[in-house]
Amino acid sequence: MDKNMYAIEVERLTKIYGKGETAVTAIADATLQVKPGELVAILGPSGSGKTTLLTCIGLINEPTHGTVVIDGTTVADEGWKSGIDLKRMRREKLGFIFQAHNLIPFLTAQENVMIALEINNMTKNEAKSRATELLTSLNLGHRLGNYPSALSGGEAQRVAIARALANKPRVILADEPTAALDTENGKNVMALLKKLAVENHSAILVVTHDHRMVEGFDRIFQVSDGRIIDEKNSIDAG
């Protein structure tokens, strides 16, 4: 199999928090692959290890065992691989979307997108036009100069999506992106992610325990107690 066929490859990933008697195994022996252009869900009850899995893939949380390969680069193999610039990987290959939008409160919508571009060495003018273009394509052209506090939940989440997309990442990781939204806005966001997966050819991994949102995913991983217990196509999900 072509090594670059997958955007995300996780093998036998285990994450244990703490040591000794208080150790918690949040994820055990998880294996999954996601192809570019695929929209994949991780579904499971609270405390089952979804966020842990996502943060291990997102290079935020160091895996205890197992390997993580992002876009052909092995980043973790029994712990972080030495010589890997995690920050650089994060800003070049990964985009993050969270439950709470996590926009920077003192930056306008446009600046929130621009900052992701500027830390990736884009000039201010380029960043400005790309941010404007992205936000306009997400129907936020009229909100460029607004601070997050002046945006609705759905608008803020779309700005966060624009920021996650800014550097055209190979992988987008979303942790309950619709949890803070009403059904209508949640559905819009999901439709948007679906569209992006196809258009940008990005692998999109979405954590959710919101069953309203499961339609439209290419595949769904069911997590329970730290283990991936089931994998099915979305067609079966309904």
Partner 1 sequence: MNLAIRDIRYHRGRFILTSIGLGLLLGVVISMGGIYRGLIADALAILHANKADIWVVQQNTNGPFAESSRIPEDIKYRMRAVPGVAEASPLSFQTIQIERHGKPFRFFLIGYELSGFGGPPEIVAGRGIRQKHYEMVAARAMGMQIGEKIHLGLHDYTIVGLTGKIVSSSGDPVAYVSLADAQNIQFKKDNDAIRNDRERIGANLANIQTLSPVQGKYLQKNISAITESTHTVNTIVVRLAPGANLQEVQDRISRWNHFKPISDAEQTAILAKGMIEKARMQLGLFRVILLVISAVIISLIIYTSTLDKIKVIATLKLIGSQNRVIIGMILQQSLLMGFIAYFIGYGLILLTYEKFPRRIVLEPFDMQILFVIVMAICIISSFVGIRKALKVEPGEALGG
Near Mg ion in 13-52, by CB under 5 A: 51
CA nearest to 151, candidates 207, 99, 107, 96:
107
**Helices and strands per DSSP (H, E), number in the chain:** 7, 10
DSSP-derived pairing of the beta strands 203-208 and 219-224: unpaired
Residue number, 97 or 117, with CB nearest to ligand ATP: 97
50 lies in the binding site for ligand ATP (CB under 6 A): yes
Residue number, 36 or 177, with CB nearest to Mg ion: 177
38 lies in the binding site for partner 1 (CB under 8 A): no
Query: CA-CA distance, 170 to 110, in Å (whole number)?
Result: 22
Show the DSSP H helices in the chain as ranges: 50-57, 86-93, 109-118, 124-137, 153-165, 183-200, 234-237
Applying CB under 8 A, among 12, 88, 142, 195 the residue interacting with partner 1 is 88
Residue number, 171 or 223, with CB nearest to ligand ATP: 223
Distances (CA, A) of 230 to 43, 130, 164, 174, 189: 10, 40, 28, 20, 25
Residue number, 60 or 198, with CB nearest to partner 1: 60
Per DSSP, 81 falls in state P
Residue 69 interface partner, choices partner 1, ligand ATP, Mg ion, none, CB cut-off 5-8 Å depending on type: none
DSSP assignment of 138-195: TT-GGGTT--GGGS-HHHHHHHHHHHHHTT--SEEEEESTTTTS-HHHHHHHHHHHHH
158 lies in the binding site for partner 1 (CB under 8 A): no
Close Cβ partners of 88 (under 8 Å, ≥ 6 residues apart):
none
Report in angstroms how near the CB of residue 153 gets to partner 1 at its nearest: 14
Residue 89 interface partner, choices ligand ATP, partner 1, Mg ion, none, CB cut-off 5-8 Å depending on type: partner 1
49-57, 124-132, 180-188, 190-198 -> range binding ligand ATP (CB under 6 A): 49-57
Interface ranges with ligand ATP (CB under 6 A):
17-18, 24, 26, 44, 46-52, 209
Interface ranges with Mg ion (CB under 5 A):
51
Interface ranges with partner 1 (CB under 8 A):
51, 55, 58, 60-61, 87-92, 94, 96, 98-100, 102-107, 111, 114-116, 118-120, 124, 127, 147, 163, 175
